[in-house]
Amino acid sequence: MLRLFGLVAVGALLAGCSPQVGPDDWTLEPIPFETALGRTDFAFGMHQLATDGSGGFWASSGRSWLHVGGDGETLAMFSADDGDPLAGIGAMAALSDTEFVATRSTRVPVLSVLDTTTMKWRDLPGEPPVSSDDFGDFAFGDVAVHEGDAILVRYQPRPPDAYLDYQVLRVDLDDGSRTLLYSAPISLGDAPDSFPGVPPVDVDADADGRIYLATPSERIVLDAEGAVLSAEPQSADHPRVSVRPDGTALWWGGEPEKSAIRGVTIGGSAEAQEAIAQREDCDDVYRTDALWLSDGEAQHPLPFLCGANAAVWTGDSWVVAIGGEGDGVLVRLTPPDARD
């Protein structure tokens, strides 16, 4: 269990100061990277993240791509051309240190595997509509990976009486075969800010195959076969979940609550520190969903990084993407037990 002591978070410190990090503090560190204009830690917001399998990560937003290695070196930064499959990523997750699986938007949703050494795609077979009440691959949501299989969120319309179901599928990434693990209805009133898109459902998996679902109305944990292990209510416009291998999870959703946990921002530019500090108060940001920690015993509010775009565990910390155009920061979020 993570240690949950300390004071209420103080937030980002002035550039050049040397903050004191206590043994029970979380640390928040802006991640710098190289651009054509020089090194920066404050630019545009990223909206998809995936570990690279070697302690680093890939980040993307629209046509923009960034690869930062485990030692902090910028390994790649580029902008995909219009029409390039890299310009239309919906969600992505690492399959190995040289491949990741991604959903793409074409005329129909596509699930693909990208070889990052050659930047070549391999598309998995889709499912066309087969009847008036089976819409095939109507829309894809988030994706995760466990033991070489994709864990995929798919949406199915349910006219005339219901809006949508979301389904959790296990997809064999060799032959594309699918197994339905879980299905539940989702309401048009869930996450109204997402309209006309579908309400978001975020997914991740731990090393034991447990599946974590963040929906606009619930935080759900399934076993590897799709049986519900736990379900907690929430109200979230932009639900997010990111899990480390042992099942400790970060969730974004709902209102903030008082917390005795302290977060300390270390390093970074004054602009990046200010962007982090603004997200201690969920009322002052566009995405207002608060951050929570679940550790297998309880759920605990964390008083920082409200309204994240995306998060991924890589190496011994989470990488969290916050902000949008002109105030985006990639933050390395390290829990106290990872520094022991």
Where do the domains of the chain lie, and which CATH numbers do they carry? 26-339 (2.120.10.30)
Cα dihedral angle (273, 274, 276, 279), rounded to 10 degrees?
170
pLDDT of the residue at 125: 96
Q: In whole angstroms, what is the distance from residue 270 CA to residue 286 CA? A: 21
DSSP bridge partners of 152: 143, 169
26-30 and 263-265 strand pairing: parallel
Cα dihedral angle (319, 323, 327, 331), rounded to 10 degrees?
-10
User: What average pLDDT does the segment 277-300 reach?
Assistant: 90
Q: In whole angstroms, what is the distance from residue 199 CA to residue 236 CA? A: 10
Q: In whole angstroms, what is the distance from residue 169 CA to residue 37 CA? A: 43
Q: Is 86 left (phi over 0), alpha (psi -120 to 50) or beta?
A: alpha
pLDDT of the residue at 12: 35
pLDDT of the residue at 32: 97
Instruction: Give the chain's mean pLDDT.
Output: 90
The pLDDT of residue 22 is above 50:
yes
Strand order in the sheet with 99-105: 89-94, 99-105, 109-115, 120-123
**What pTM value is reported for the model?**
0.92
Which helix (H) or strand (E) covers residue 219, if one does?
A: strand 218-222
- Looking at residue 30, its amino acid is P
pLDDT of the residue at 1: 41
Per-residue pLDDT band for 323 (boundaries 50, 70, 90) equals very high
pLDDT of the residue at 307: 95
- pLDDT single digits (tens) 212-267: 999 999 999 999 999 999 999 999 999 999 999 999 999 999 889 999 999 999 99
pLDDT of the residue at 13: 34
Q: Which residue has the higher pLDDT, 94 or 298?
A: 94
